Amino acid sequence: MAKIRDYVNKSLSRRFGVMMGAFLVFFLVGTGILLSILNVLSSSYTEERTALKKKTMAAQYISESFNQAFFDARGYMAFGNKNMRDSTITKEEEIRRFSDDFGLKASSESDLVFLQKVKDFSDYYFGEVLPPVFTAYENGAQGHELAEANPEVTKRVRDFKIYLSDYLTGLEDELDDRYSKLIRTQTYVMFTFLLFIVGILLTVLAITRLMLNQVGKPLSELSAAANDIADGKPAILPRVENREDEIGVLSLAFRVMTEKVMEKEKDLLEQNNMLIDQKEELHAQQEELEKTLLVLRKNEAKLSSRNELINRMSRSMNKKEVLGSVISNMCKILNADKGIIVLISDYSFAAEGVSLEGSKKFIRHLKEGMLDRLDTEKGAVLLNRRTQPEEEGLHEESFYCQDLYLPIFSAEKEIDAVMCFTRMGRPFSEENYEDWRVLSKNIGIAVDKIALFELSERERRLNQSILDSIKEGVQLVDKAGMILQVNGQFCEMFGKEDRQLQGMDREQWTTMLDFFIEESGDFLIYLNEAFSGEENGESKTFTYTKKDTGQVIKVYSEAVGHGGERLGTVFVHRDITKEFEVDQMKSEFVSTVSHELRTPLASILGFSELMLNRELKPDRQKKYTATILSEAKRLTSLINDFLDVQKMEAGKMNYNKKPTDIIEVLHHVVEIYKDTTARHEIHLDAPDEAHIVGDKEKLGQVFRNLLSNAIKYSPDGGVVNISVYRDKSNIHIDITDSGIGIPEEAIGKLFTKFYRVDNSDLRKIGGTGLGLAIVHEIVKAHRGDIKISSVPNWGSTFTVTFPAYMAKIDEKSDTEEGNSSGYRVMVIEDDSSLGELIVQELKENGFRVNYFANGATALEAMGKQPPDALVLDIVLEGGGLDGWEIMNRMKQSANLKNIPIIISSALDEKIRGLNLGAHEYLVKPYKPSQLSKTIMQTLLNLGKSGQIFIPGKGNQE
């Protein structure tokens, strides 16, 4: 039967094979071409879309960075947050990086235009706009003032943001256009392919119809006969025995087949039964494999969660991030509905499915005893409970849930943290106890690692803070010379930031220092010696000068090692500019003093020797004696200057201050110096009298020094003018010469001890450099001021200012003077000069003032008419009452106990005064304006009411 079937098939194939083969080849070739076209279109679109997407993302990053920079800049000027200022500055580098990335993806002229505009605007905004705006803001300008002052900047920023938005929209439109183009092209290709299929189908239909006409009918009859045979009915075969084609052969073969079908039917039934059994067995095996696969997938998910947990714990040192990762992955591993982890050290926590209030309640639950139970049991604890109302959700009734507590132990077997997980309506399996223990141990290692990291961070910050508190610049480098750490003073010294310096290699930072250091060549030699030196405990030093500031810096180095191994070197840069200048001044002073002392001594010794060894005429003896006396006075004056400086530095200079006519002092000084010079004219322009409170002798010393300097520094002679004038409350004295003048850069140092102007012309003029320092201290002690104005080669003017002395006033009890404020102030001060000054100050500030020098008189007047405030001196002469007793008596009086008291005293007993009820305590000397401000502020704050407190007395208020 098989041979007959093969013969028929071969015969039919020969007839239709050629035709079908041609159509098949045509179909395959056409299909292949169309598929290739589709593949090419898809690949091209994918590449273009990927490139466009990358370009769009790069442009979006640029836009977002600019927007963030705008936001941070506005935030900094609005809130003064320096972190936002730093973030704004760092955005420039981020934009430059994104621009470089965009440049690699640029593919059109518009892209290059966009890239250029971004670079131009970045240079403009970060280079031209932000620095002056930040500087103006830090100098006190407000945010809205800066915005109004820079409308052009605002417009340009707005235009640039619009340009960025339009460009991104264009890229998205281009992406949409390309997608639409692909869809249209694919539609055309698919339509062509559909037409091709339809053509093939029509051709096959025509061939089929031809086949049916020739062989279809006989085959149908044979098929019907075959069906009858299959149904067990008698079959009627077509009459095709005489046909010699394939149909005839097939008819003959069909008869043979009919005979054998019956023979094979039984065998087929048996085989079919066997196959059914095998199918059932395979189905059972498939179900078993599916169950196994499901278990494997669950295990794989658990392993994946564990791996993710371990990886995240090992990758991050951020406590919050690690705790969040732990609780999230543990909930997945344990298949828990919610969970929480709490660190015992600071009770920080992370939770999943638990509210903030619920987390706080859990922490209280731990503190109330659960923590002790976990510490006792040293392992996991399972608790069954009913759900809380907030846990029931959509359920109408409560149900059981189970909590799993897992303690996390440190290496010292102490509880570092506690985890708790909850399953709703289903229990945990205690078979997984070992897994819980292992997971807890891994988490414990991570918690310990975080604790160690935080400890090291705290120690690092502490070390950095300690370094930053050191006034010297500290620089730590490793063996190769790379900077490991610097302090703030070092950064300030060289105008760099910490992050700029850390990580610099040796060549980079030595090149940077070379730019600042005058002695760069010698400094490099010093560095080489410091790096190559042995760790022998000896520090190496080097002194250099900074080019930009002229500072003198002394640097010394120490090797840093451990266990005999050198780990690096620490350099300490110390600013010794002041010490250097002082050393120079001291050396110069010693030289000057030696000259100044030896000159009068030489004269004294020389003339004394002449008088002892020679017979001299009386007039010659008298002349020599006068010279010896003059030089001895000169020597005494020098020694007195040294002693005065020493007393002033020790704060032991005594002043006998009393009302003094400064005009009288000036006349006396002028008379002295008129007789000492023939080349100078001294003119005094002054009123008849001008009184100040001061030490007459010390004031004379001030003007003798100033007039002596005016004469000395006018070596060619000339006029020295002394002018005295006054304003409302001060007396001013100008001493003007027409000498060689003082350089501008030296004016600020003139009152420094031992300082002398560095000028060869001035070196010819004698002096110790102490006179003006003494003048400055005396003027300052008299609450005065001294100023200098000078033009080189034209002369100098020294202006001395003292507070004017007001005429002495009598005690006033009923007479009040003042103006607008309406506040009545009583002053009790036994020093009439200071009392007059206080009265004048208060009246000028609008107070009505009653002045008393006697405490008893003041108390009597106060009882008749209580003042709004009292200015009280503690030490009072005459009358038997001091300030403490006056305060005590005021306390006993209902009318006086609430008067606010401002103590004005030379005694520094502020704590006692405030404890006894004084509202303020001013220690003499102080600025008079400070007293007026204090009284006004006190009265405004208290509403004209105050309190006096006397410790140890009853009924204190």
pLDDT of 760 > 60? The answer is no
Residue 829 has pLDDT above 90, yes or no: no
Mean pLDDT of 764-790: 77
103-112, 718-727, 764-773: which range is least confident on average?
764-773
Whole-angstrom distance, CA of residue 120 vs CA of residue 778: 62
**144: pLDDT strictly greater than 70:** no
Instruction: Place 809 in a pLDDT band, splitting at 50, 70 and 90.
Output: very low
pLDDT at position 217, please?
A: 64
Asked if 409 contacts 439 with a C-beta cutoff of 8 angstroms, the reply is: no
Percent of the chain beyond pLDDT 90? 3
Predicted pLDDT at 814: 37
CA Rg value for the chain: 53
Return the DSSP state at 430. G
Give Cβ neighbours of residue 548 (< 8 Å, ≥ 6 apart).
516
Q: Taking residues 512-540, report their average pLDDT.
A: 75
Per-residue pLDDT tens over the stretch 864-922? 889 989 999 888 865 568 888 888 888 888 888 889 999 988 777 888 888 888 888 88
Closest alpha carbon to 246 in 221, 222, 215: 215
Query: Which residue has better confidence, 572 or 138?
Result: 572
Report the C-alpha gap between 569 and 509 in whole angstroms: 14
Can you tell me the mean pLDDT for 931-939? 85
What is the per-residue pLDDT for 578? 77
| The pLDDT of residue 554 is above 70 | yes
pLDDT at residue number 742? 78
Range 504-515 average pLDDT: 83
Buried b (16+ CB within 10 A) or exposed e, 598-613: eebeebbeebeeeeee
Measured CA to CA, the distance from residue 840 to residue 834 in angstroms comes to 10
- The per-residue pLDDT for 513 is 81
> What are the structure tokens assigned to 210, written together?
């031809």
More confident residue, 45 or 381: 381
Tell me the per-residue pLDDT of 9-26, one tens digit each, with 9 for 90 and over: 555 556 556 666 776 777
The mean per-residue pLDDT over the stretch 773-778 comes to 83
**pLDDT at position 801 over 90:** yes
For the stretch 341-362, pLDDT in tens is 988 888 888 898 888 888 888 8
Across the chain, what does the average pLDDT equal?
Answer: 77
pLDDT tens digits along 632-668: 776 776 677 666 666 666 666 677 777 888 898 888 8
DSSP-derived pairing of the beta strands 338-343 and 415-424: antiparallel
Residue pLDDT, tens place only, 684-708: 888 888 888 888 888 888 888 888 8
> Quick check: 946 pLDDT over 50?
no
pLDDT of residue 799: 93
Q: DSSP assignment, residue 899?
A: S
* Closest residue by Cα to residue 218 from 12, 483, 20: 12
Least trusted range by pLDDT, from 321-330, 439-448, 647-656: 647-656
Position 142 confidence tier, pLDDT thresholds 50, 70, 90: low
How far is residue 245's CA from residue 8's CA, in Å, rounded to a whole number? 9
Q: What is the DSSP letter of 387?
A: P
Q: How many other CB atoms sit within 10 Å of the CB of residue 584?
A: 12
- pLDDT confidence of residue 807: 53
Mean pLDDT of 162-172: 82
* pLDDT (tens digit per residue) in 373-410: 888 888 888 888 877 766 666 666 667 788 888 888 87
Least confident segment among 550-554, 570-574, 578-582? 578-582
Which pLDDT score, from 0 to 100, does residue 734 have? 92
The residue that leads in pLDDT, 237 or 199, is 199
Residue 555 has pLDDT above 70, yes or no: yes
Name the pTM for this structure: 0.37
- Judge contact between 530 and 571, C-beta under 8 A: yes
Which position has the higher pLDDT, 827 or 42?
A: 827
| All residues at 6 or more sequence positions from 255 whose CB lies less than 8 Å from its CB, including other chains | 237
Q: How confident is the model at residue 952 (pLDDT cuts 50, 70, 90)?
A: very low
User: In this predicted structure, what is the pLDDT of residue 645?
Assistant: 64
CB atoms within 10 A of CB 728: 7
Percent of the chain with pLDDT over 70: 77
Task: Please write the tens of the pLDDT for every residue from 419-428.
Answer: 998 888 788 8
Which residues in 686-778 belong to E strands, given as ranges? Answer: 691-694, 718-726, 730-736
pLDDT score at 819: 43
Report whether pLDDT(7) > 70: no
Query: What is the greatest pairwise CA distance in the chain?
Result: 190
Question: In whole angstroms, what is the distance from residue 528 CA to residue 13 CA?
Answer: 97
Residue 652 backbone phi and psi in degrees, to 5: -110, 10
Highest mean pLDDT among 61-75, 256-270, 650-664, 719-733 belongs to: 719-733
User: Residue 28: its pLDDT value, please?
Assistant: 80
